[in-house]
């Protein structure tokens, strides 16, 4: 056993891969082999579409030491806003998309101002903005559902490349790769880790933590809005429920994937595997015909388990640092 492999088996990624393999084996046995059939694998990847955007937004902010609890309502507000522009105002798709994403960026900017300038804890600031976004959703829908009928939008949500490969699968892979490169290969990515791990040291090295966090809050709001738009494209409608039910899915997947709640550690590879575990588990529950209400209980337990694992891992790391 070489040194590199010995180091690898001590990493979070190895633990995640073991969990994923065990999950696949259990679900394959439980579903009599259906779980690993190509059609079901495509379903798993396809169902990651919306949550992948939420996971990336959550992971990026967590690495910087912050979190956003407004993504569910911000994404919902974005989807109903776009539907309103398309149906009620009869706008072309591109201008409607631009204004919707601009509105999301403004909400993200306000979140960052509340955190950076007003010094509010991020969970309080984003909860307040969640209430504002909820009010905007009521304004645009009147409390009802707005139908969306647009071929281009529908293709974004459910289209297939060459009639074979779902667009959703391509998007999931591409966005994780892009954000993975940003984290591991760019100056901004290194700044994020330093800001999350040691904000004081980041300032001393000439980094502006406020600027970094502002970009990430805007990024989180825009990704949540794109997630809401994708859902409306798939459902051909926009409602007040939107993606609110998926509020904590991205956060859970990111933490499960090794992104520390305390900031400064984690990556897109781990977040992707965490999301894959999360989504595969949900798919397996459906295929095993287990009541959907149990899913919510288990999702909560998964988040609790991820936070507990992160807590003890952080404590072990701190002890090693002090010992050295």
What does the buried/exposed string (b/e) look like for 183-206 if buried means 16 or more CB atoms within 10 Å of the residue's CB? beeeeebebbbbbbbebeebeeee
Q: Which two tokens stand for residue 314?
A: 């952080």
Does 315 score more than 80 pLDDT?
Answer: no
Average pLDDT over residues 213-227: 96
| Predicted structure pTM score | 0.91
Q: Using DSSP, how many helices (H) and how many strands (E) does the chain show?
A: 14, 4
Does 317 score more than 70 pLDDT?
Answer: no
Nearest to 229 by CA among 164, 170, 157: 157
Contact by Cβ (8 Å): 248, 260: no
Contact by Cβ (8 Å): 100, 253: no
Residue 324 binned pLDDT confidence (cut-offs 50, 70, 90): low
Does 1 score more than 60 pLDDT?
Answer: no
Task: Decide the pairing of beta strands 146-147 and 160-161.
Answer: unpaired
Nearest to 310 by CA among 261, 242, 254: 261
What's the pLDDT tens digit per position in 222-276? 999 999 999 999 888 888 888 988 888 888 889 888 898 888 889 999 999 999 9
Q: Which two tokens stand for residue 210?
A: 């406020």
What is the model's pLDDT at position 318?
65
What's the pLDDT tens digit per position in 28-73? 999 999 999 989 998 998 889 999 999 999 999 999 999 999 999 9
What is the model's pLDDT at position 121?
94
Domains of the chain: which residue ranges? 38-308
Residue 112 binned pLDDT confidence (cut-offs 50, 70, 90): very high
**CATH fold of the domain at 38-308:** ABC transporter involved in vitamin B12 uptake, BtuC (1.10.3470)
Handedness of CA 139, 142, 144, 145 (dihedral sign): negative
What's the pLDDT tens digit per position in 147-202? 888 888 888 888 887 767 788 888 889 999 999 999 999 999 999 999 998 888 89
Assign residue 291 a region (left: φ > 0; alpha: ψ between -120 and 50; beta: otherwise).
beta
Nearest to 251 by CA among 43, 116, 109, 60: 60
Looking only at Cα atoms, what is the longest distance across the chain? 65
What's the pLDDT tens digit per position in 273-289? 999 998 998 899 889 88
Specify the 3-state DSSP secondary structure of 147: strand
Contact by Cβ (8 Å): 56, 223: yes
**Alpha-carbon 106 to chain mean position:** 19
């Amino acid at each position: 056993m070489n040194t590199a492999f010995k180091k690898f088996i001590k990493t979070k990624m190895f633990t995640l891969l073991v969990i994923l393999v065990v999950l696949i084996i259990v679900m394959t046995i439980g579903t009599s082999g259906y779980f690993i059939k190509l059609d079901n694998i495509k379903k798993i990847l396809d169902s990651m579409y919306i949550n992948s955007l939420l996971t990336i937004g959550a992971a990026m902010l967590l690495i910087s030491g912050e979190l956003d609890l407004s993504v569910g309502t911000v994404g919902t507000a974005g989807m109903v806003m776009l539907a309103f522009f398309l149906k009620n105002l009869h706008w072309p798709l591109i201008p409607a998309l631009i204004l919707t994403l601009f509105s999301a960026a403004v909400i993200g900017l306000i979140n960052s101002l509340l955190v950076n300038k007003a010094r509010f804890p991020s969970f309080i600031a984003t909860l307040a903005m969640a209430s504002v976004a909820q009010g905007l959703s009521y304004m645009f829908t009147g409390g009802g559902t707005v139908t969306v009928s647009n071929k281009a939008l529908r293709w974004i949500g459910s289209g297939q490349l060459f009639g074979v490969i779902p667009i959703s699968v391509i998007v999931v892979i591409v966005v994780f790769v892009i954000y993975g490169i940003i984290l591991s290969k760019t100056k901004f990515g290194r700044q994020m880790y330093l800001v999350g791990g040691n904000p004081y040291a980041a300032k001393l090295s000439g980094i502006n933590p406020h600027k970094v966090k502002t970009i990430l809050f805007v990024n989180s709001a825009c990704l949540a809005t794109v997630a809401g738009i994708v859902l409306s494209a798939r459902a051909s409608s926009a409602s007040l429920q939107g993606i609110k039910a998926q509020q904590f899915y991205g956060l859970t997947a990111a933490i499960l994937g090794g992104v520390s709640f305390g900031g400064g550690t984690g990556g897109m590879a781990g977040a992707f595997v965490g999301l894959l575990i999360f989504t595969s588990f949900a798919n397996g529950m459906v295929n095993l015909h287990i009541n959907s209400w149990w899913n919510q209980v288990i999702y909560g337990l998964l988040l609790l388990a991820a936070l507990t694992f992160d807590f003890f891992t952080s404590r072990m790391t701190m002890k090693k640092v002090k010992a050295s």
